[in-house]
Amino acid sequence: MGWDARQPGKSRMRGRSRSIGMSWKTSHWQAQPPMLPKSDAVPGAIEFTQADLRGRDLRHRNFTGANFHRAYLSGANLSNTCLKAAILTKANLYEANLTNADLHEANLTDANLIGADLTGADLQSAMLRTADLREAILVHANLSYADLIGTDLRQANVRQADLCDANLMRADLSQARLQQINACQANFSRVNLQQAELIAANLVKTSLFKARAIAAHLSHANLTAATLIEANFDQSDLSWANLSRANLSGASLRGANLRGANLSRANLSQADLTGADLRGCRLLKTQFTNACLTGTQLPSGFSLAGHC
């Protein structure tokens, strides 16, 4: 994203006059920090555009609808702060503390949230398009209905977060920790899930159309009725996963571990299962039409008759 948490750059100075007062001291002008409301409640929308609030203690404040566009909030403590419907577009929140913050319907488009702590934060219906959340902590966060299109979540910790109905199309979740997330009916189309941890994740009716999940860990995940058309699960661990009624047509599962998985009524037409391990799988009415099964290990006694 090109952010420098310690050196905001010259552009900061051009926009500071609106929110930063000046005082005369020893024949020199010195910048003063922006005046924050004394009251805990902020009446109406408050302007903090390009304000320098780095490292400030802003806990438990009410900034509903406030404008923090391009504000410098790196290292700031915003835990338990209300930022509902706030504008944080292109804000620098590098390593900020946002634990249990209320960001419902907030706009964080293009924001820098690298290493930020959003544990337990409410981001329901928030706008996070192309935001940078690398190595961020989102454990138990509420991201239901959030817009995360093109978001960078590499190596982020999203364990047990709520992502139901969220849109993560084209997001980068490589090496992210997503264990036990609830992402039913979410849109993971074309996402990068390479080496991501999705153990015991709830992905019921989720779309992973053309997702790249090479070497991902999805053991015991629930993918019932999920759309996995042309997805790449090469070398992935899908052992004991529930893939009943899932659409895996055209998917690549080369060398994948599917031992004990439930593939009942799943569609594997034209799927590439070269070298995959399907031992112990439930294959009731599973479709294998034109699937590649070279070197595939099938359940003992299983016959493809009636499945193609």
Q: Can you give the pLDDT of all 308 residues of the chain as single tens digits?
A: 444 444 444 333 333 333 333 332 333 323 445 555 543 444 446 899 999 999 999 999 999 999 999 999 999 999 999 999 999 999 999 999 999 999 999 999 999 999 999 999 999 999 999 999 999 999 999 999 999 999 999 999 999 999 999 999 999 999 999 999 999 999 999 999 999 999 999 999 999 999 999 999 999 999 999 999 999 999 999 999 999 999 999 999 999 999 999 999 999 999 999 999 999 999 999 999 999 999 999 998 787 755 55
- Total length of the chain: 308
Residue 225 · residue 245 · CB < 8 Å: yes
Instruction: Give the list of residues 6+ apart from residue 20 with CB closer than 8 angstroms, or none.
Output: 31, 32, 33, 34, 51, 52
Instruction: Give the list of residues 6+ apart from residue 205 with CB closer than 8 angstroms, or none.
Output: 184, 185, 224, 225, 226
- What pLDDT is recorded for position 13? 35
- Count of CB atoms within 10 A of residue 140's CB? 16
Residue with tokens 């139901």: 164
CA dist 201 and 221 (Å) reads: 5
Residue 288 · residue 305 · CB < 8 Å: no
Residue 102 · residue 82 · CB < 8 Å: yes
Compute the radius of gyration of the chain from its Cα atoms: 24
CA dist 228 and 248 (Å) reads: 5
Amino acid at 10: K
Structure-block tokens of residue 255: 């060398």
- The residues with which 282 forms a beta bridge, in sequence order, are 262
Q: Cα–Cα–Cα angle for 303, 305, 308, nearest 5°?
A: 115
- Count of CB atoms within 10 A of residue 222's CB? 21
The two beta strands, 22-25 and 28-31, are: antiparallel
Distances (CA, A) of 223 to 117, 228, 266: 29, 9, 10
Residue 143 · residue 161 · CB < 8 Å: yes
- The residues with which 252 forms a beta bridge, in sequence order, are 232, 272
Taking the CA atoms of 127, 210, 136 and 50 in sequence, report the sign of the dihedral they define.
negative
Tell me the pTM.
0.84
- What pLDDT is recorded for position 111? 98
